[in-house]
Structure 1
Amino acid sequence: MSINRDTLRSQFTDDGVQFLLAQFVDIHGSAKVKMCPAETLDALADDGAGFAGAAVWGLGQGPHSHDMMARIDLDTYTPLPWQPNTARFAADIFVDDKPYAYCARTNLKRVLNQLKEKLGLIANIGIEPEHFLITKNPDGTIAPWDPGKVDTLAKPCYDFKGISAAIGYLQDITTYCNQLGWGVYQADHEDANGQYEVNFHYSEALTTADRYTFFKMMTSQVAPKYGAIATHMAKPFADRTGSGAHIHYHLADAKTGENMFTNEEDPRGLGMSKLGYHFLAGVLKHAPALCAITSPTANCYKRLQVGPGLFSARSGFTWTPAFISYGDNNRTQMLRICGPGHVEDRTVSAAVNPYLAFAAYLVAGMDGINNELHVGDPNLGNLYAMSRDDIYKRGLNTLPQSLKEALTALETDTVIAESLGPIAREFLSVKWREWNEYHRQISKWETEQYLTLF
């Protein structure tokens, strides 16, 4: 049940809120907003803020279409800590007073309702928001943000000197998130120079998607205070580790909240239930098509590379599994069983639209549950240290190695396509256009490699 409007108005007064942002996302997961005076609360909740849908990527509208109305979800009241007189509400899109099927948030709610109604379950998901702080040079190139000129180690992960300049930024982000009740429990320097992560507690899937969207908004506003640009691009530097948005998850009983992935008597010794293994089997079955949603840009596939990453990361590892596998507490697996009933998918890109990704992911897992798919035995040991032939002998396959390959898989996977409803057509259209535009470009590497070779 939504929070009482009178309670909200009282909260506006207490928080000094004078303006509201009605916010939704486009097909890329980018936040779109309209700013309205706080006095318009009733209109935003009853009717919504009007948008021309054709002006936004992937919303299924043309210039002739009826207005999209972003109708705010009162339970998502989120004051902007960096703009104290303003608050954000996540919104669902309506057209002609009906829920709009091309709205990514509305679609996720549809899938979550199916999960609850058909299986009596809810999805609890956490996310690790890796991102870079960068600067732009006068010639348009970029560099890791490093005002002290000390973040230069080949293995900078957790390094004190590397994180020291960013402590103010990370403390601002941590303070802001905790003001909102997110429960940040750690922040660190990640594996690449200029790369950071702030971890907050998991929540129900829709809440986590809303928070991740707001987190990206927050970093974009806090970073300039320190002379930096925050980027959630998957692979901004060819020689450094890319940014993921690893998801941690389990399904829980909708009535009791009990983790339904847990089984202390698991014969495989990983503490997982049969239902959990069926879910993982569905994810692995649909992994090629899922990859199009969880790694949705051409750039993402510079991150999803087979092998240890000696040539694509100064630290020696990409930390991104590229084989379709599951295993124990082992970071070389796509699906890592961190502990009883606790699964992590390490392949998800920072460029992800969380609403689309969670919807597709849950439908893949539900397919495994409904059809009681078998996941097989876990893969143990270091996949990075194995040759391709050895890994293929284990019966493992690679994730798509290009956006083109992933989109082709999505086109033939009706389960994943249907998880997005009509958004699937828009997604494929936008992403094929993106791939074709990317594929037409001539890179500096190509001219250096081939210009005088022949």
Structure 2
Amino acid sequence: MTLEATNTSVLRLPSTNGRSPETTEPPTLTELARATDTRFILAVFTTLSGKPCAKLVPVESADELQSDGVGFAGYAAGAIGQVPKDPDLVALPDLSSFTPIPFIRDGLALVHCDPHVEGKPWPFAPRIILEKALAAAAEKGLTVKVGAEIEYFLVQRDQEGALRTADLLDTSRQPCYDARDVTRMYEHLTSISSAMNTLGWGNYANDHEDGNGQFEQNFRYDEALVTADRVMTLRYLISVLAEQRGMTATFMPKPFADRTGTGMHLHMSLWNGDRAAFPDAGDPRGLGLSDLAYSFIGGILDHACALQGVLAPTVNSYKRTGATATTSGATWSPRHATYGGNDRTHYLRVPDSHRVELRGGDGAANPYLAIAATVAAGLDGIDRHLDPGAPGDGVASDALPMTLLHAMDALAGDPVVTAALDAAGPGVAEYFTSLKREEFFQWHSTVTPWEIDNYLTAF
């Protein structure tokens, strides 16, 4: 992760059509679409589970989309806090997120939306929850910037339906950074890289990760909401472009028991206007951080167990954080709430004085919720002037939750993280933990092949 921020966009906005600079207004959705040869717009919102939902809107109806939004039966969409009798969920577009994606289909674009119900922002909408968290930071004079590392596996199913690596030659014991494995996936990786750079995101690296069939693609950091939108957009792009090549891109945290799991590491920093708030050359602890940065770290560590319920939100997530070994020899997944310098074994890594890297999140994490909850935890640390102790400290009591059920218990008992989820309205945290507990018990009640193998003739 580099430190050069960019707000550059290759998107060419329409001209002012003869209007003077003093009276220039932001372009409308129709103008954005016409200027980019867009014929159809995906109006996208995200559920609490991280599912992207959309309606395809022709450019001829862009004005109506901008003014009135587009309606959805929220219960049918999934985890969005509705029941069948509820009124429509209306998605209103945020024009700043307008993104042409002709590399998916010619003339296609998407725009991220904020769901409303009966004219009011819907409190169960993850994007709105993040907006509330960022507003709380702004009240303290702080801007949150975030970079995200997007990891995933490229897989296929064999004739028996078993999951396998899409590249059948990707079999080495330590495939990480292998130039040959990267080259065989050249067309896929470069199509994603070119898409990001066409959009002005600043893709700066694409690599083979630690597991066979696992890759990571990075883009430069930006303001938190921009990055969260881009994570959702990139997951969509990766999934669709992989599918077009006969592969499945999965962000599942642990698709293979003997391989490294898939993370979504978040690089976070706070800013006062244009000034970075983390660096302090006089830091006696040697990491070059300010007191504010240490308090932010202290807040995240203090709420780490509850945060894991949002950062690692599936049953499968705890196969990743609970792993003790992999074929390559390392899991790269933190098991304790510790922090330190440029050391990837910690929950919070401090690679330099400008940022902290939160390594507890995985590929199933909803980026809006993950960032919102983490910001709330960090701000609580600032409010309470928490001291995280010396770098590298960590004791057995700092162990992260062992299962999704443990994580939900921790989340439900943490007033700061629950308040972050409830920031736009009450009931979200209770709804989320209830869904996740149900998910755990559905899994727990399923008889697995492991049980058959171990118990069928054991007694």
Rounded to whole Å, the distance in 2 between the matches of 1:74 and 1:418 is 28
- What's the counterpart of residue 411 of structure 1? 412
Deviation at 1:286, TM superposition (A): 0.5
Rounded to whole Å, the distance in 2 between the matches of 1:245 and 1:176 is 20
Output aligned runs, 1:334-413, within 5 Å.
334-379=347-392, 392=395, 397-413=398-414
Deviation at 1:398, TM superposition (A): 1.0
The verdict on how the C-alpha distance between 1:116 and 1:366 changes in structure 2, with shifts beyond 3 A counting, is same
Deviation at 1:226, TM superposition (A): 2.2
- Which of 101, 118, 123 aligns to 1:101? It is 123
- What's the counterpart of residue 443 of structure 2? 438
- Equivalent pair of 2:29/2:62 in contact (CA under 8 Å): no
Deviation at 1:8, TM superposition (A): 4.6
- Equivalent pair of 1:263/1:341 in contact (CA under 8 Å): no
Partner secondary structure for residue 409 of structure 2:
helix
Provide Cα deviations, 1:7-34, integer angstroms capped at 9, x if missing partner: 6534423422111111001111110000
| Partner amino acid, structure 1, of 2:238 | T
Rounded to whole Å, the distance in 2 between the matches of 1:272 and 1:5 is 39
Output aligned runs, 1:6-25, within 5 Å.
6=27, 8-25=29-46
Rounded to whole Å, the distance in 2 between the matches of 1:240 and 1:407 is 26
| Partner amino acid, structure 1, of 2:385 | E
- Equivalent pair of 2:412/2:430 in contact (CA under 8 Å): no
Provide Cα deviations, 1:345-399, integer angstroms capped at 9, x if missing partner: 111111000111111101001110001111100117xxxxxxxxxx64xx65211
Query: TM-score with structure 2 length normalisation?
Result: 0.91
Deviation at 1:60, TM superposition (A): 1.6
- Equivalent pair of 1:15/1:84 in contact (CA under 8 Å): no
- What's the counterpart of residue 261 of structure 1? 278
* Structure 2: gaps (5+ residues): 1-12, 15-24
Deviation at 1:251, TM superposition (A): 0.6
- Equivalent pair of 1:334/1:345 in contact (CA under 8 Å): yes
| Partner amino acid, structure 1, of 2:204 | Y
- Equivalent pair of 2:170/2:212 in contact (CA under 8 Å): yes
| Partner amino acid, structure 1, of 2:405 | K
Output aligned runs, 1:91-240, within 5 Å.
91-117=113-139, 119-146=140-167, 149-240=168-259
- Equivalent pair of 1:276/1:341 in contact (CA under 8 Å): no
Rounded to whole Å, the distance in 2 between the matches of 1:7 and 1:54 is 30
Rounded to whole Å, the distance in 2 between the matches of 1:297 and 1:328 is 29
- What's the counterpart of residue 428 of structure 2? 423
User: 1:88 and 2:93 equivalent?
Assistant: no
Rounded to whole Å, the distance in 1 between the matches of 2:229 and 2:134 is 14
Partner secondary structure for residue 58 of structure 1:
coil
- What's the counterpart of residue 3 of structure 2? none
- What's the counterpart of residue 26 of structure 1? 47
- What's the counterpart of residue 300 of structure 2? 283
Rounded to whole Å, the distance in 1 between the matches of 2:280 and 2:365 is 31
Provide Cα deviations, 1:108-154, integer angstroms capped at 9, x if missing partner: 1011111101x1001100000000000012322110111xx321111
Provide Cα deviations, 1:215-258, integer angstroms capped at 9, x if missing partner: 111011100232211101000000100000001011111xx321
Provide Cα deviations, 1:77-121, integer angstroms capped at 9, x if missing partner: 10113212111000001111111111111111011111101x100
- What's the counterpart of residue 22 of structure 2? none
Provide Cα deviations, 1:315-369, integer angstroms capped at 9, x if missing partner: 0111111111001110111100101122101111110001111111010011100
| Partner amino acid, structure 2, of 1:379 | G
| Partner amino acid, structure 2, of 1:40 | S
Output aligned runs, 1:68-79, within 5 Å.
68-79=89-100
* Structure 1: gaps (5+ residues): 381-390
Deviation at 1:59, TM superposition (A): 1.6
| Partner amino acid, structure 2, of 1:358 | I
- Which of 238, 243, 248 aligns to 2:267? It is 248
Rounded to whole Å, the distance in 1 between the matches of 2:217 and 2:181 is 15
Provide Cα deviations, 1:21-51, integer angstroms capped at 9, x if missing partner: 1100111111000011112222212221000
- Equivalent pair of 1:288/1:409 in contact (CA under 8 Å): yes
- Equivalent pair of 1:245/1:350 in contact (CA under 8 Å): yes
| Partner amino acid, structure 2, of 1:404 | L
User: 1:54 and 2:75 equivalent?
Assistant: yes
- Equivalent pair of 2:30/2:63 in contact (CA under 8 Å): no
CA RMSD of aligned residues (A): 1.6
Partner secondary structure for residue 265 of structure 2:
strand
- Which of 319, 332, 341 aligns to 1:319? It is 332
Deviates more, 1:194-203 or 1:50-59: 50-59
Deviation at 1:168, TM superposition (A): 0.8
| Partner amino acid, structure 2, of 1:114 | A
| Partner amino acid, structure 2, of 1:336 | R
- What's the counterpart of residue 302 of structure 1? 319
Deviates more, 1:236-245 or 1:225-234: 225-234
Paired positions, count: 432
Rounded to whole Å, the distance in 1 between the matches of 2:96 and 2:303 is 33
- Equivalent pair of 1:108/1:355 in contact (CA under 8 Å): yes
Query: TM-score with structure 1 length normalisation?
Result: 0.92
